[in-house]
A and B are shown apart, each in its own frame.
Chain A
Amino acid sequence: MDFQTRSMRLNNARRKVTNYLVSGLSILATIIVIVPLIAILFYLIYKGASSLNLAFFTHIPAPVGEEGGGMANSIVGSGIILLLASLMGVPIGIAAGVYLAEFGRGKALATAVRFTADVLNGVPSIVMGISIYSLIVIQQKHFSALAGGVALGIMMIPTITRTTEEMLATVPHAIREAALGLGVPKWRTAISVSLRTASPGIITGCMLAFARVAGETAPLLFTAFGNQFWSLKLNEPIAALPLQIYVYAISPYDEWHRLAWAGALVLIVMIMVSVTLVRIVANRGVLKGGS
């Protein structure tokens, strides 16, 4: 065997070993990632489920040292804040998405809006919190549910804009042209044809944005602030589930830790159910209108 053949064989063996080595490493990486992530999920479910009871949903927090108590006010408070946020974020987000997909095709302005939305998506939520604090809370001189809703609403806009645009882009041009060919005005085409055809995807996008802000704590710290009592007024500090979990998690009391786990489970279940449900409904086509 001459030198060249031998070195080629050696080289081939080396290449094979590298191939197996890298494949093994990537499988190992996946296991290293997946196992702890499943562990986190199961630990959450285990701790949360063992701490959850009916009082959690019906009672307000008990004073320090007393057993029991729940987070009824936080659940309702989160609902109010999220409703306010959706009222603000969903229409603006969808409208901006409609502009990008229906009116802005190929325009430099649309590219700039798209890019800014993506960048805005990456702005830390705590920055959003102190901006709204600086704008609303300092003016009003007190924390309020309204400020919390505005902070979360702004955070919803970029996500909804981008998903709406992406969904509208999947609507075939032929459908729009058919509507326009019948003499339907452009605004009517956008609403009744494009938006309606893309509605499953757009609703999914809204739910994803909703789920994302539902767990946000940092923007609420200095806007909604939290409240140990019942409060439904938009003009007063209001309790929120993620805030309450944070306060209880860093507290020194076992009873509060138990409630924090229960709260985390409720929050996760709410987020995951909404995300999964929308996916299923969208896939089954129940929401499919128009087309």
Chain B
Amino acid sequence: MLSTVAAAVTPAAAPQAGNAAASPIRDFLSRRGSGRLADASFAAIMLVCALSIFAIVLFILSILIVRSHLSLAQFGWSFFTRSAWDPVSGDFGALPFIFGTLATSFLALLMAVPLALGVAIFLTELCPQPLRAPISFLTELLAAIPSVVYGLWAVFVLIPLVRDVIGPFLVKFFGWTTLFDGTNFGVGLLTASIILAIMILPIISSLTRDIMTAVPNSQREAVLALGATRWEMIRIGVLRNSRIGIVGAIMLGLGRALGETMAVTMVIGNHPNISKSLFAPANTLASVIAGEFSEATSDIYLSALIEIGLALFLVTIVVNAIARLMVWAVTRNAPARVQ
């Protein structure tokens, strides 16, 4: 539409420019033609910058493949199914880290999702107006706290708490599940999952809130008019309409949990270990890179770590892509919002 307006203006301006008048506007219009080259080059520069985003993704992918070719060539697909991790003899397999990543992310989602949904429902449907802004501001503030600060807090507060309070409590009531066997040092899968849950909660709840806000009020009114209680209104009018977006928000939280590095590295115990016990120290894909990258002395060791990075990259790309599509499907027509 814009270009048609511009096109309509230019021919009209051209003949007038012929009359050499002193008017500054006419003077300006007569120099209009010089914009054509500038316009084209400006558009080209903007396009190049936009394309650089593709370039970055391709660059990350290619450099990771190039640098991990040693490990790719030596171990092939079995890299992801073997649990050996022996830097001394140069034998590497990523299974313990895949297990650690999946276990911590799953537990974190298990803890965070019900709470995040509760918060989102409270904020959109139940919360008194004056409380709404401060609570959403607080949750967004917490999303801005750096990972390393959460890690610092976890090291000095959460680890003692898990060791002395939460751990013994779980052993007492859920010891029969054998999920809490072994010595509880405070570091391990459970602690890492708790800190991950705390970190992804604000993300999931604020996205879910956006998605639920995007549901038109007429939906709510229609359900209420049929005599529904408030919960039935939320369930039928709001949740059912936004479920795809909510699943997307949860997957975005999952993407964050899969790649979270610093806080997890600081509390997980950093040991390549596949154990049923939640107290056992473990390692995730991200934390093994952070913990061992600078110690990697041999080429094959470095290459194996970069291959882990490559796997992490591909997995998070896929998870994020699916999640974004789901969130887009719901919020595409909603008003824009600065995050």
Contact = CB atoms under 8 A, between A and B. Distances in A.
Interface of A: 15-16, 18-19, 22-23, 25-30, 32-34, 36-38, 40-41, 43-44, 47, 91-93, 95-96, 98-100, 102-104, 109-110, 112-113, 115-128, 130-131, 133-135, 138, 154, 157-159, 161, 163, 166-167, 169-170, 173, 176-177, 180-183, 185-188, 190, 201, 204-205, 208, 211-212, 214-218, 221-222, 242, 245-246, 249-250, 257, 260-261, 264, 267-268, 271-272, 275
B148 A127 contact: no
A40 B153 contact: yes
B119 A26 contact: yes
Given A250-B266, A264-B152, A126 B259 contact: yes
B261 A185 contact: no
Interface in B249-266: 252, 255-256, 258-262, 266
Give chain B's interface residue range (CB within 8 Å of chain A): 35 or more
B52 A212 contact: no
A29 B63 contact: no
Contacts of B63: 131, 134-135
A96 B119 contact: no
Contact of B146 (A30, A92, A119, A271): A271
Contacts of A205: 338
Contact of A26 (B28, B121, B286, B290): B121
Contact of B336 (A154, A170, A245): A170
Given A173-B1, A188-B35, A222-B293, A157 B52 contact: yes
A201 B53 CA distance: 21
A218 B121 contact: no
Contact of A173 (B2, B52, B138): B2
Given A95-B49, A100-B50, A268 B290 contact: no
A215 B147 contact: yes
B156 A96 contact: no
Interface in B273-328: 286, 289-290, 293-294, 305-306, 309, 312-313, 316-317, 319-321, 323-324
A30 B144 contact: no
Given A125-B259, A215-B148, A157 B231 contact: no
Given A119-B320, A167-B338, 13 more contacts: A15-B231, A33-B205, A40-B198, A41-B141, A44-B149, A95-B49, A113-B51, A115-B321, A124-B313, A161-B50, A169-B336, A257-B156, A272-B144
Contact of B231 (A23, A104, A120): A23
**Residue in A102, A161, A218, A268 with the greatest tally of chain B CB atoms within 10 Å:** A218
A88 B5 CA distance: 35
A245 B148 contact: yes
A116 B54 contact: yes
B42 A96 contact: no
Contacts of A134: 63-64, 66-67, 306
A99 B122 CA distance: 39
Interface stretch (B6-14, B81-89, B162-170): B6-14
A258 B316 CA distance: 36
Interface of B: 1-2, 5-6, 9-10, 13, 25, 28-29, 32, 35-36, 38-39, 42-43, 45-47, 49-54, 56-57, 59-60, 63-64, 66-67, 114-119, 121-123, 126-127, 135, 138-139, 141-142, 144-153, 155-157, 198, 201-202, 205, 229-232, 234, 252, 255-256, 258-262, 266, 286, 289-290, 293-294, 305-306, 309, 312-313, 316-317, 319-321, 323-324, 336-339
B149 A215 contact: yes
22 contacts: A26-B126, A30-B122, A36-B198, A43-B153, A96-B46, A116-B57, A122-B323, A126-B289, A126-B312, A127-B259, A127-B309, A157-B52, A182-B28, A183-B13, A186-B39, A205-B338, A216-B147, A217-B262, A250-B155, A261-B152, A264-B152, A268-B145
Nearest to B319: A122
Given A37-B139, A127-B313, A271-B144, A119 B118 contact: no
Contacts of A30: 118-119, 122-123, 127, 135
Nearest to B17: A183
A227 to B, nearest CB: 14
B138 A187 contact: no
B271 to A, nearest CB: 15
B2 A177 contact: yes
B262 to A, nearest CB: 5
B306 to A, nearest CB: 6
A33 B115 contact: yes
Contacts of A177: 2, 5
